[in-house]
């Protein structure tokens, strides 16, 4: 039986867990109402209780280490100007901690005594982030400006004695610095001085407060796990993988227990251990978790258990709690599949295909059960955004819907994608941008040779930067496509950079090129300037409040393309960069399905 798109979009996800200070409850996000809200559950598989009831999406939940209260974040209409709130469990009272609606606030964590919170915000200057600390019961302008920044800052949490904060400054997705901020004096001490482009990510305090743990490619192509001595600045290598990236680390700074994740061709492998010395780990048993994608580790107060979100293509995201010493793990949440049998969900095949310069490009390829192997199956080439992102085998209700309706789905991780080392990630920088589009063309050539694929039924689909890739592929290789679907995509890099949020421009220029030095090149690769080359029908979807890719991009594109191909435009007044509200997603994907049924021969 094939269910409609509304049924698939009612499949739920549970993720982003935090354990209460008495370890008897789990707070997490779940989208049962159509947008993510905070829920709590008291035991594995127990009946969850909804705590927040907003029309807007909640972005995180973080339990106080000492009280029955948690902090959470929420923006308005997808504008990404997140405000921070405190929820009191005994009374249900909600306090707006930040109350500065024109600024974006980035959560930095609770102090260990639960008396203060830290965050980064662009209140002073929209283009830069500063560091603030405020009492748990203070609001709005009561926050103390601890340090002024001059770029894109995020916080890595409080030191064990609550006197310092970890501060990461990002210059691009492949170049960061980490510093230690003295909360009382405002003095910033840099931990990671370097030349060139080096990643320093996922910084965490060690239990002694004298060491910081992070992942970095400072001496290799891939991310390794390092320990930094705060006093001397000396680095020591803790763990490495010669082939894959160690992409995340969580440390319980009370006990010294550590969990780190390795990204193995898109799949997560977790390692649990205890520190023998500051730079040496004694491994614990591997957690007994499903194969897929795992992250968001949060320890209990004793460091004996940890919550982690796990998803795979055949199962929605759910929260598991693992036992550190034994490796046993139990699923605590039961995100519903809307009555659709789990065994109907298709797992992808991991493939590698050749491209123009001899490289092998990784991709996930999923065939519907209706495939006959006789060249009759249309394919949606679904291109991720970022561009420094990575398509991984996590659950996607939309992907499963397409598969149930007879479409194959091909998801390439073209050059520039994260997860495969810094050399691969830099292959599409600035003047090499169109090489990644050539990787999409190579993917279609590979599909043409596949016995299942209908070569006349190949669709390009992508969101954000993936939307640019759709448009670029349709203008550079117009003969390949039966249709294109552009969701919040970039049509003109110059107008995109001119109009995008002030806090994002410098970070994006490091990847795409600058308006000052690369304007001519940016114009040359902007699909809007070659839109007359498109030969296939095009569907453009956008959010009116998009702070990253202004809606003006969509309007320019639709106006220009309508002269020579069928074009449909759908703009949502209460969305930002993407589609988060259930009713909007139903409207959008119903419209996409109708568009595909009209222009592509799927099994509809």
DSSP state of 545: T
CB 208 within 8 A of CB 161: no
**Residues 56-68: tens digit of each pLDDT:** 999 999 999 999 9
pLDDT bracket for residue 507 (50, 70, 90): low
- The stretches of 392-432 forming alpha helices (DSSP H) are 397-404, 422-425
Q: How far does Cα 130 stand from its chain's mean position?
A: 23
**Residues 320-334: tens digit of each pLDDT:** 999 999 999 999 999
**Residues 407-463: tens digit of each pLDDT:** 999 999 999 999 999 999 989 887 888 999 999 999 999 999 999 999 999 999 999
Q: Summarize the confidence of residues 306-316 as an average pLDDT.
A: 95
**Residues 396-408: tens digit of each pLDDT:** 999 999 999 999 9
* 3-state helix, strand and coil shares in percent for the chain, rounded to the nearest 5: 20, 35, 45
Q: What is the pLDDT of residue 501?
A: 65
Q: What is the pLDDT of residue 504?
A: 66
CB 560 within 8 A of CB 528: yes
Number of alpha carbons in the 13 Å side-chain half-sphere of residue 108? 33
**Residues 105-135: tens digit of each pLDDT:** 999 999 999 999 999 999 999 889 999 999 9
CB 540 within 8 A of CB 166: no
Rounded CA gap, 381 and 506, in Å? 30
pLDDT bracket for residue 493 (50, 70, 90): confident
Q: What is the pLDDT of residue 603?
A: 44
Number of alpha carbons in the 13 Å side-chain half-sphere of residue 425? 24
Statement: residue 602 has pLDDT above 90: no
CB 533 within 8 A of CB 539: no
Q: Which residues of 140-163 are buried (b: 16+ CB within 10 A; e: fewer)?
A: eeebeebbebeebbbbbbbbbebe
pLDDT bracket for residue 503 (50, 70, 90): low
**Residues 461-482: tens digit of each pLDDT:** 999 889 999 999 999 999 999 9
Q: Which residue has the higher pLDDT, 143 or 23?
A: 143
**Residues 347-380: tens digit of each pLDDT:** 999 999 999 999 999 999 999 999 988 899 999 9
CA-based angle 233:238:244, to the nearest 5?
115
**Residues 193-245: tens digit of each pLDDT:** 999 999 999 999 999 999 999 999 999 999 999 999 999 999 999 999 989 99
Mean model confidence pLDDT for the chain: 92
Number of alpha carbons in the 13 Å side-chain half-sphere of residue 6? 2
- Tokens 């310069």, residue? 357
Q: What is the pLDDT of residue 520?
A: 86
3-state DSSP assignment of residue 132: strand
Q: How many percent of the chain have pLDDT more than 90?
A: 77
Number of alpha carbons in the 13 Å side-chain half-sphere of residue 351? 19
Statement: residue 300 has pLDDT above 60: yes
Rounded CA gap, 559 and 552, in Å? 11
Q: What is the pLDDT of residue 17?
A: 96
pTM exceeds 0.85 for this model: yes
Q: Summarize the confidence of residues 30-47 as an average pLDDT.
A: 93
């Amino acid at each position: 039986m094939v269910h409609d798109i509304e049924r698939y979009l009612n499949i739920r996800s549970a993720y982003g867990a935090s354990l209460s200070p008495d370890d008897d409850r789990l707070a997490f996000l779940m989208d049962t109402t159509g947008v993510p809200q905070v829920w709590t559950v008291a035991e594995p598989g127990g009946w969850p209780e909804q705590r927040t009831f907003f029309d807007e999406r909640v972005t995180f939940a973080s339990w106080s280490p000492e009280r029955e209260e948690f902090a959470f974040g929420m923006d308005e209409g997808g504008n990404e100007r997140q405000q921070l709130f405190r929820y009191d469990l005994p009374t249900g009272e909600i306090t707006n901690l930040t109350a500065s609606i024109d600024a974006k606030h980035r959560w930095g964590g609770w102090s260990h005594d639960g008396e203060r919170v830290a965050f980064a915000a662009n209140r002073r200057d929209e283009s830069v982030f500063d560091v603030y600390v405020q009492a748990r019961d203070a609001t709005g302008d009561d926050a103390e400006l601890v340090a002024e920044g001059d770029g894109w800052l995020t916080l890595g949490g409080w030191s064990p004695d609550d006197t310092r904060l970890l501060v990461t400054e990002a210059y691009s997705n492949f170049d960061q610095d980490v510093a230690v901020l003295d909360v009382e004096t405002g003095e910033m001490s840099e931990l990671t001085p370097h030349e060139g482009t080096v990643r320093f990510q996922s910084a965490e305090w060690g239990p002694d407060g004298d060491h910081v743990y992070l992942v970095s490619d400072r001496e290799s192509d891939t991310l390794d796990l390092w320990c930094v001595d705060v006093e001397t600045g000396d680095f020591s290598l803790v763990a490495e993988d010669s082939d894959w990236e160690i992409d995340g680390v969580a440390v319980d700074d009370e006990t010294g227990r550590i969990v780190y994740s390795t990204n193995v061709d898109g799949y997560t492998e977790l390692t649990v251990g205890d520190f023998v010395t500051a730079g040496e780990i004694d491994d614990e048993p591997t957690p007994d978790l499903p194969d897929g994608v795992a992250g968001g580790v949060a320890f209990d107060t004793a460091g004996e258990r940890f919550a982690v979100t796990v998803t795979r293509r055949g199962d929605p995201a759910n929260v598991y709690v693992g036992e550190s010493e034994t490796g046993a793990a139990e699923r605590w949440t039961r995100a519903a599949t809307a009555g659709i049998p789990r065994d109907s969900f298709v797992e992808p095949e991991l493939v590698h295909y050749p491209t123009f310069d001899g490289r092998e490009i990784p991709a996930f390829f999923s065939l519907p059960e209706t495939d006959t192997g006789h060249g009759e199956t249309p394919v949606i080439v679904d291109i991720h955004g970022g561009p420094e992102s990575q398509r991984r085998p996590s659950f996607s209700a939309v992907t499963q819907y397409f598969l149930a309706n007879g479409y194959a789905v091909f998801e390439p991780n073209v050059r520039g994608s994260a997860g495969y080392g810094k050399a691969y990630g830099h292959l599409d920088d600035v003047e090499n941008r169109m090489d990644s589009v050539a990787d999409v063309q190579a993917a279609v050539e590979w599909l043409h040779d596949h016995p299942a694929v209908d070569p006349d039924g190949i669709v390009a689909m992508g969101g954000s930067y993936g939307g640019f890739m759709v448009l670029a592929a349709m203008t550079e290789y117009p003969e390949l496509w039966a249709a294109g679907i552009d969701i919040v995509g970039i049509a003109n890099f110059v107008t995109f950079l001119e109009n995008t949020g002030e806090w994002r421009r410098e970070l994006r220029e490091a990847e795409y090129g600058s308006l000052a030095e690369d304007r001519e090149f940016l114009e040359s690769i902007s699909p809007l300037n070659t839109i007359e080359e498109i030969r296939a029908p095009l569907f453009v979807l956008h959010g009116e409040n998009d702070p990253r890719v202004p809606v003006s991009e969509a309007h320019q594109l639709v106006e220009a393309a309508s002269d020579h191909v069928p074009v449909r435009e759908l703009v949502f007044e209460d969305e930002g960069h993407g589609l988060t509200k259930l009713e909007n997603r139903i409207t959008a994907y119903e419209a996409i399905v109708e568009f595909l049924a009209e222009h592509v021969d799927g099994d509809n």
